[in-house]
Amino acid sequence: MTEGDVNFWDSLETLGHELLNREREIVHKRLPSTKKDKSSASDDGENGSRGQVLRAIERLTETMIAALSKGQSPVLTYKDRQNSSNVSFDEDFGVVPSDNPVVKTVDFSAIKSTTRFARTLQVLAISYRLVQTNTYSTKRDVFYNNTKLFGSQRVLDTIVDDIACMLEVPRHSLHILATSKGCVAGDLTLVDSDGSFLDCSVASGGTMVPAHVQHITNLHSNAKFVLVVEKDATFQKLLDDGFCRKLAPCILVTGKGVPDLNTRMLVHKLWKAFHIPVFALVDADPHGMEIMCTYKYGSMALSHESHSLTVPTLKWLGVLPSDVRRLCIQEDVLLPMTDSDRAKARELLRRPYLSAEPLWRRELEEFMTRDRKAEIQSLISISPTFLTDVYIPNKIKFGGWI
């Protein structure tokens, strides 16, 4: 092992110790709620057990029957997941539900609400049957079993999320799963929910993230860090360049753009299981930054699941706007900011978690000052292997993350 190799791993080990201490603080702060929820722990040790979900659906059904027996119209009430006043920011947990939330109602007596009411009851009935028989279905299968009722996949997806929020259980506890789109590669083995053994170092293009992330077991890795990559094209480029071999042992993950629930859950699970640094590699633009914030802080729509989705200690490895300037990336490789980019940058500046990340805020302001953005691929203009052989190793070796 060369001196450079020693320095490389020493810097990671130092960061690992710092982040582990930070993680212990976060876990300690979570202990009161963990103790409170112990009585309702699931069969696999987490909140949202089969019994809890069944009872929640039964109570909701009883409430509707009671209203009908009194000649009243049944009403469904749930938190408005798109209302920013319904969430708050906690530095240790990310975006979390706030107290006294603004709610939405679906009243069966209102003509405009009858279709949504029927769709919700249908999904509740399907979920109840799946949980009761301990079987699973994908959202796509549920949709295609009654396309006329749901109209579009997006409508069904929203209803499933609203029901999970209404019952105050994780979405996967409804036994209606989303198809995973993310990939993982590198030094990681695990046992999937069906008992199959997965070695993520074997497949040349990466291994698909399992659909039942909450039920995977026997995770094993000697990885020193996890690198979350925004785009699948960059993920594949790194694999083609031998990234996992050159920087071994490590784990590489991509959500292929905006990450799905399973990919976010896997990154959280890796962070929690191995206590190693998690870095993000995203485009140097406001939308890339938002994707990174989703991994670190969560999202408004799924704030009720932040405890199992966020990685509060995630670090921004690149591509930083200041890196673009420092590396003198040619202007013809950069892209002009669009109106959508500018609007997203202004929105991000208003988000409360940017106040906890002054260095991130400074980089975001550089976007707006220069009015230019850069994709990860812009680094290839320096050298075809610059990203793998120089940029990422040096950023890790010399602590070039924020």
Per-residue pLDDT tens for 40-65? 333 333 446 888 899 999 988 888 88
For the ranges 90-104, 125-139, 272-286, 366-380, which has the lowest average pLDDT? Answer: 90-104
Do strands 75-79 and 103-107 pair parallel, antiparallel, or not at all (unpaired)? antiparallel
Q: Give the mean pLDDT of 370-381.
A: 88
User: Is residue 144 annotated as part of the catalytic site, yes or no?
Assistant: yes
Q: What is the per-residue pLDDT across 242-257, written as a single tens digit (0 to 9) for each? A: 999 999 899 999 999 9
Check whether 142 has a pLDDT greater than 90: yes
Q: What is the pLDDT of residue 42?
A: 37
Q: What is the pLDDT of residue 39?
A: 31
Check whether 222 has a pLDDT greater than 60: yes
Q: Alpha-carbon torsion 28, 29, 35, 40, what sign? A: negative
How many whole angstroms separate alpha carbon 49 and alpha carbon 55? 10
More confident residue, 172 or 19: 172
How many whole angstroms separate alpha carbon 400 and alpha carbon 402? 7
Q: What is the pLDDT of residue 36?
A: 34
Q: What is the per-residue pLDDT across 287-336, written as a single tens digit (0 to 9) for each? A: 999 999 999 988 877 777 777 888 989 999 989 999 988 888 888 888 98
Check whether 177 has a pLDDT greater than 70: yes
Q: What is the per-residue pLDDT across 4-44, written as a single tens digit (0 to 9) for each? A: 555 555 655 665 555 555 555 555 555 444 333 333 333 33
Catalytic residue among 78, 136, 144, 391: 144
Kindly report the average pLDDT of the chain as a whole number: 83
* pTM of the shown model: 0.79
Instruction: Tokens for 383, please give them.
Output: 């050298």
- Spell out the alpha helix ranges (H) of 134-260: 139-145, 147-150, 153-167, 232-240, 243-246
Kindly indicate the confidence band of residue 102, based on its pLDDT and cuts at 50, 70 and 90: low
Check whether 84 has a pLDDT greater than 60: yes
